[in-house]
Amino acid sequence: MKPIVKKGILLGRTRFKESSLIIRVLSEDGSLVSLMFKGALRRKSGIAARIKPFALLEFVYYHKRERSIQTASEVSVVEDFSENIGGYNSQVRAAKYIKKAASLLQPEQSNPEIFDIVLALLREWEKISSLPENLLWSAFLLKIMTFAGFAPTIFQCALCNGKIDERNGAAFSPSAGGLICSSCPNPNDAIPFTAEMVKSSQFLISNSFDKLFQIDISANAMNKLAISFERFWAFHIGEDKKQRKNNH
């Protein structure tokens, strides 16, 4: 059997029996892979020390379709972002982003763009982590939802497909699917959006992380954006939705 060589980002690790490790990886093809390293915790192995969080790793493993956990033989560090991430609080914050992205993926599903967004986040973290949390979090949610096929409608009305003219007022409705123009009735869950919130939303979904420093938006507007996109996530992607989908 020919081994598979694939890059990925560590999501979690669990001790198995006395000396083995089972790890979960966000692979470069945007799939979730579980790997077992037998004997990884033995003193002479050295494997456990190379299975690092906040790093781009390269794995060698053997794939068997009937197995949910594949047997791995080697791992190496391609890029180490741990110095960029910094201390404990920053690690907790970065881990939240990675976990959120991985939660979009289902078994047997692949979405390489999700991996690319997480990798870009880690590579740029030292710089972009200074951004306000609500701004960076909103941009991240919009980007991963876009490539997962769940993005809210931002550039036109989610109800009539008409142009959004923020000067006449707009609203954001999770149940309607995004922004609503002033000519359409607002659902009960609609959140009023100011002109700066509309423009900022459109900028966030269209630009890379390093361009976010160009946004001039009030703290109150940033907070409302984060709340709005979290509510959209909960309505369309929340855990209860995923569980119901898996049961059918």
Do both 151 and 233 map to the same domain? yes
Write out pLDDT tens, residues 62-74: 999 889 999 999 9
Write out pLDDT tens, residues 36-92: 999 999 988 999 999 999 999 999 999 998 899 999 999 999 999 999 999 999 999
Do both 42 and 139 map to the same domain? no
Query: Order of strands across the sheet with 170-173?
Result: 178-180, 170-173, 191-193
Strands 178-180 and 170-173, sheet pairing: antiparallel
How many domains in the chain?
Answer: 2
Q: Is residue 20 part of a domain?
A: yes
Percent of the chain topping pLDDT 70: 96
Q: Is residue 141 part of a domain?
A: yes
Q: Is residue 226 part of a domain?
A: yes
pLDDT at 247 over 70: no
- Of the residues 83, 114, 142, the one at which a domain ends: 83
Structure tokens given for 113 = 């763009």
Q: Is residue 155 part of a domain?
A: yes
Q: What is the mean predicted confidence (pLDDT) over 135-148?
A: 96
Cα separation, 186 vs 32, whole angstroms: 39
Q: What is the mean predicted confidence (pLDDT) over 11-26?
A: 96
Q: Is residue 74 part of a domain?
A: yes
Give me the domain span that covers residue 65.
4-83
Do both 235 and 137 map to the same domain? yes
Do both 66 and 141 map to the same domain? no
Do both 42 and 150 map to the same domain? no
- Of the residues 83, 107, 122, the one at which a domain ends: 83
Supply the CATH number for residue 17's domain: 2.40.50.140
pLDDT at 245 over 70: no
Q: Please, which pLDDT band fits residue 165 given cuts at 50, 70 and 90?
A: confident
pTM here is: 0.91
pLDDT at 98 over 50: yes
Q: Is residue 123 part of a domain?
A: no
Q: Is residue 233 part of a domain?
A: yes
